[in-house]
Structure 1
Amino acid sequence: MNILKLKHHLTDPLYRNSLFLMTSTAVLTGLGFFFWMVVARYYSEYEVGVSAAIISVINLLAIISSLGLGSAITRFLPKAENPVGMINSSFIICGIFALVVTGIFLAGIDVFSKEINFIVDHIIFLLAFVVFTVCRPITILLGAIFVAKRRAEFTLVKNSIFAALKIPLPILLVMSLHAFGIVGSWGIAASIALVVSLFIFLPRIQRDYKPTLKINWDIMKLMWKYSAGSYLARIFFSAPALILPIIIVNNIGPEHNAYFYVAWTISSLLFEISHATARSLFAEGSHFEERLAPDVRRSFKFIAMLLIPAMILVVLLGKWLLLLFGESYSDNALKLLWILAFSSPFIAVNSIYTSILRVQYRIKELIALRASVAITVLVASALITPYVGITGTGYVWTGIQALVSVYAGLLIRVRYRAMKAANKSFTNRLDED
């Protein structure tokens, strides 16, 4: 019976995509441990903190440059009449916008963070930063394409290439690039994974795909009507994870950011259980909205099955996990790790609710919800970190997620009944036919 249930999980698109996405994150985090362990051995805590801030900036600029098109691709690519045109147009638009956004950031880098302004003083660092930032939003879009096509296994392979390649590079680059060696290792590995995905994986899942420089404006107008709202929602969703390192570097120094970044990286494995399931739920809802109610119920069961034991492991083994990076990381980041781990059940509720909103085109509510979380977390953290350090950021994050989950949980119950009624009506019509 258990074998039959396992076989069902591996063939059901909702579970299959979720499992591949979660395994992908597990690979990223697991090999990421080795990457940061190598980094901790060869680089100072100051260099780790500065590099973590630069990587966060690259990811933030990539999210801004993606224009929310990842959500639009997940929503519309499954039924698109011209999928190749949709894919290529999205790549070109995001690449151009990334150049513009990167230029603006570099022009005002002294305003955003003086700790990382050495980038503009070295031509190699500057060019590498631009290339990495332009490549990153295209990588984001590729992930959305793989999910939309129900082929999330390619996300796993792409991330495995990235995670494995970046491990030895910090040792090779430490003498020549110093602090930027960490960023260079991360960016070179990500760029290689992107090239492999673009020219090998993508043609396998999208028939007749060939990269072109042609933009189909009719397709972009259709996508933008949906992605405009999703764009803001994605920025607000990503803002805490990507801006908090910059706040910490500016307020209390790069060393504290190194501790924060490692604790957040470990906690992200717990968060991804919910996020991956929610992304898969969104993809399934885009294919079959009438099945949303039972899929929501199955998603919660699936998350609980994985999240509860994972939380217990992180809490019990957190000290030893942090010791792998060094004694100072265990001394300074353990309490934060525990606090962040306890936020993961609240994130599960919030993630499922946001997927329901996305499937049902309730984008304004989605934006308002994510904006309230992001603004509150960032403002409160900026105010309290100079006094209570990174632990205060953890309390703020967990408290806000808990409050939002109460609101989301109540509305899920209300909308679940409506979705269940709609599903019953759809089933009755099928029986009549």
Structure 2
Amino acid sequence: MAGRLRSARREMNNPLYRNAYALMLNTVVNSGFGLLYWIFAARTYSPEDVGRGSALVNLMMLISVLTSLNFGQALIRFLPTAGNDSSRLVNRAYVVSAGLGTLAAAGVMTYLNLTNSPGDPLWVSPLFGFWFVVSTAAWSIFNLQDQVFTGLRSAVWVALKNGVYGVVKLMLLVAVSFTSVSDGVFTSWSAPVLALLVPFSLLITRRVLPRHVTSSAAEPGAGAPDGGTLRRYMAGDYMGQVFNQATSSFLPVLIIALLGAQQSAYLLPAQTMFIALNLLSVAIMSSLVVEGSRDPSRSHLLARAILRRIMIVVVPAALAVGLAAPWLLLLYGGDYADNATLLLQLLMASIMPRVVVTLWMTRSRLASRTFPLAAQQLFHAVVVIGGTTLLAPVMGLEAVGWSWLAAEFALAAFLLPIVVRWLRGTSPLPARDVDLDTETTRRIDPVDPVAETTEIPRARD
């Protein structure tokens, strides 16, 4: 037992593992509180109020995602090595995301106010429109703070922040139901964001960020990327995000058009469970991007360590969900189990090839090559949407699962040689550019090659 405790302490002292587990915990916390929130909403408010509230919440999040320009991924990639430029990089992300979000939200609210009559479910008053605009700007910053904490190697705060938000959001949802406040669902979702934004912003600016600057400013090559590098990185990553968002958001609409609203309802729980489990891999890989950015030449060692954790946590979880699919779907009703069991099992089967694809995506981000990411996401979208369209008249809802599985296996087969060479160290990423006068080498721990190591100055030749 003492040996196991020492091993656990050693693992949690390593930022790679500590941040990976914290981000995994955050995924579980977000998924759990999200499920509870909508269960409470369904039992507390009328279906009309829940429907309008859900539409407005999703509209706010969609505007925020599209106007953030995927700045969050740029923070995860470049903030670990930004040094004295860290504050400037964070502030730029806040200003761009919140500014574009404000403009887009104002345009959408103006459109809904002018084109709908007061009795329409999507009509908004000028006062509510103003609240929506403020909430969208706040949500953009609130969401970026997750990536800021991750890039600053303090992902434990991400799980705590979203855990507090989930609790406050649930309490406010019930409290508002006893008042005369209209749009209680949207209010309970957005008001805690404004309340929590200030304390966590102060935590970042007064504690976490200065500590990061102090520890990283003296590292060789520290500094934010130039504007051209940052724009190219964000452009490719943003295009990939748009293709990915379009695929997941368009699928329910496509199923309605091809098979009807009932089959689209059966798609929802399977898609939700798959996205939640896939986010676990994404969370782990975010920690790999942070640590790999600090020393790309050792990223293959970090990737091998992360891969072992995925094989221990994510893959068995996917297998368990696939085997338990009939009983899990019974929670939604017998019709869901009868119509979506095979779909859920196919989606869970795609988790394994998805690991290969996610590793390649991480390597591309570490190499600052994001336009191939956009091409990969475009291929995935074409196969899934095209395959579903062609196969749905014959296979029904299972067409989504077979198309998704085919897209993941095709990509994994093509990308596997690149990933294998990277993991073996035969095709490592180049080390960060450093000044020869201050160049350092890292002493590798023979027990744990991905453990925190001490930098030893190396004399210039």
TM range (shorter): 0.7 to 0.9
Distance 1:71 1:33, change over 3 A: closer
Give, in whole Å, the separation in 2 of the partners of 1:321 and 1:190: 32
Partner of 2:21: 19
Give, in whole Å, the separation in 2 of the partners of 1:47 and 1:327: 27
Return the letter of the residue paired with 2:230: M
Return the letter of the residue paired with 1:61: I
Partner of 1:65: 67
1:82 to 82, 85, 101: 85
Is the Cα–Cα contact under 8 Å of residues 40 and 325 in structure 1 kept in the other structure? Answer: no
Partner of 1:301: 308
Q: CA deviation at 1:297?
A: 1.1
Partner of 2:447: none
Partner of 2:208: 205
Q: CA deviation at 1:303?
A: 0.2
Is the Cα–Cα contact under 8 Å of residues 168 and 192 in structure 2 kept in the other structure? Answer: yes
2:287 to 280, 288, 293: 280
Distance 1:34 1:179, change over 3 A: farther
State which drifts further: 249-258 or 372-381. Answer: 249-258
1:369 to 372, 376, 383: 376
State which drifts further: 355-364 or 28-37. Answer: 28-37
- Larger relative CO (CA 8 A, sep 6+): 1 or 2? 1
Return the letter of the residue paired with 1:268: I
Instruction: Give the RMSD, CA atoms, in angstroms.
Output: 4.1
Return the letter of the residue paired with 1:72: A
2:31 to 13, 29, 32: 29
Q: Share of identical aligned residues, percent? A: 25
Partner of 1:146: 149
**Residues 49-198 of structure 1 aligned to structure 2 (within 5 Å):** 52=54, 54-80=56-82, 81-105=84-108, 118-123=121-126, 126-172=129-175, 181-198=184-201
Give, in whole Å, the separation in 2 of the partners of 1:391 and 1:55: 29
Distance 1:402 1:103, change over 3 A: farther
Is the Cα–Cα contact under 8 Å of residues 293 and 423 in structure 1 kept in the other structure? Answer: no
State which drifts further: 171-180 or 364-373. Answer: 171-180
State which drifts further: 265-274 or 412-421. Answer: 412-421
Is the Cα–Cα contact under 8 Å of residues 112 and 122 in structure 2 kept in the other structure? Answer: no
Distance 1:156 1:254, change over 3 A: farther
Higher gyration radius (CA): 2
Partner of 1:213: none
Q: CA deviation at 1:4?
A: 3.4
State which drifts further: 18-27 or 276-285. Answer: 276-285
Return the letter of the residue paired with 2:202: F
> What's the secondary structure of 2:210's corresponding residue?
coil
The normalised TM-score by structure 2 is: 0.76
User: Which string of whole-angstrom CA distances, capped at 9 and with x for unpartnered residues, describes residues 199-239 of structure 1?
Assistant: 34553211299xxxxxxx99766632432222223333333
Distance 1:422 1:170, change over 3 A: closer
Greater helix percent: which structure? 1
Q: CA deviation at 1:106?
A: 5.2
Distance 1:139 1:264, change over 3 A: farther
Give, in whole Å, the separation in 1 of the partners of 2:181 and 2:13: 47
**Residues 312-327 of structure 1 aligned to structure 2 (within 5 Å):** 312-324=319-331
Is the Cα–Cα contact under 8 Å of residues 319 and 348 in structure 2 kept in the other structure? Answer: no
Q: CA deviation at 1:126?
A: 3.7
The normalised TM-score by structure 1 is: 0.81
Q: CA deviation at 1:332?
A: 5.3
Return the letter of the residue paired with 1:280: S
User: Which string of whole-angstrom CA distances, capped at 9 and with x for unpartnered residues, describes residues 31-69 of structure 1?
Assistant: 223223323445677876775555444333222111122
Return the letter of the residue paired with 2:297: E
Q: CA deviation at 1:406?
A: 1.7
> What's the secondary structure of 1:120's corresponding residue?
coil
User: Which string of whole-angstrom CA distances, capped at 9 and with x for unpartnered residues, describes residues 275-310 of structure 1?
Assistant: 111111111111111111111111111100002331
Q: Which runs of 5+ in 1 are unaligned?
A: 111-116, 210-216
Is the Cα–Cα contact under 8 Å of residues 263 and 337 in structure 1 kept in the other structure? Answer: yes
Give, in whole Å, the separation in 1 of the partners of 2:256 and 2:50: 11
Q: Which runs of 5+ in 2 are unaligned?
A: 114-119, 213-223, 432-440, 445-455
Give, in whole Å, the separation in 2 of the partners of 1:178 and 1:387: 49
Q: CA deviation at 1:329?
A: 5.2
Partner of 1:292: 299
Partner of 2:416: 409
> What's the secondary structure of 2:34's corresponding residue?
helix
Is the Cα–Cα contact under 8 Å of residues 299 and 429 in structure 2 kept in the other structure? Answer: no
Return the letter of the residue paired with 2:17: Y
Distance 1:242 1:124, change over 3 A: farther
Is the Cα–Cα contact under 8 Å of residues 94 and 138 in structure 1 kept in the other structure? Answer: yes
